[in-house]
Structure formats: structure tokens, C-alpha cells
Amino acid sequence: MEALPRSTSISKELEGEWKGEYELFGSQRHVSVKLVNRATDGAAAEFVVVGKKTTKLPVDLVTQDGDLLTIDSHETGISYEGHFNKDANEIKGIFIQAGIELPLVLQRAK
């Protein structure tokens, strides 16, 4: 039996709040992601999408492998995969929902 994936720690540069936006079916969505390390439990994320309504996604997996950040909400079938660019201070990736992949660039919140 295969062990369930566990969240990993993330680099200090990724900790904090990130914001971005994408468009789905002609409607703009605003995204806020807060990333924190939790001692021995790996990282956690608060992932909020604001469109016609505000949705706080139940995140159950956060991993970092090199510059690749992955955030998964298995309950909703939503995930985000992005590459952290330290020089540009951004995470450039894709928001994945029900097989639809949308570009989403996250910038550090001011």
C-alpha cells in the first residue's frame, strides 16, 4: 500500500502572502495564497478565490521541489503548480480545475 503524499517544508522566500488573477468563462477571479511552514508538519496554505463569491479552498497538500510549488485541494479537485522566480519575486504557473488549465502568476502581496 502506497503512503499518502505529505506536505513538505517550503523555502523562506515562499512564505507569506501572494496575489494574482485569472479569467474563467469571461469572469475575472482574484486569488490570494498565504503560505506558512508548520514545524514538522511541512507547509500549509490558505487559498482564497474571489469571483462572484468568495471561496476558501480546503488545501490538504503543499510541496516544494526545487523551484516548483504545488498546492492541492483534493476535496475540490483544484490545484496550482508554479515555478518560483526569486529574481522576479513571482510564482508563474497554472490553476487547474476540472481538467481546465489557466495561467496564473502570483506576485508577493504588498
- Nearest to residue 24, comparing CAs of 106, 83, 97, 107? 97
The identity of residue 16, as a single letter, is G
The pLDDT tens digits for 75-104 are 999 999 999 999 999 999 999 998 899 999
Range of the domain at 32: 12-108
Q: How far apart are CA 5 and CA 101, in angstroms?
A: 22
Q: Residue 48 domain-assigned?
A: yes
The identity of residue 64, as a single letter, is Q
Number of domain units in the chain: 1
Q: Residue 1 domain-assigned?
A: no
Residue tagged 502570483 (cell numbers):
106
Q: Residue 7 domain-assigned?
A: no
Q: What is the CATH number of the domain that holds 32?
A: 2.40.128.20
Q: How far apart are CA 67 and CA 65, in angstroms?
A: 6
- The pTM for the full model equals 0.93
Residue tagged 504557473 (cell numbers):
93
Residue 24: pLDDT band by 50, 70, 90 thresholds?
confident
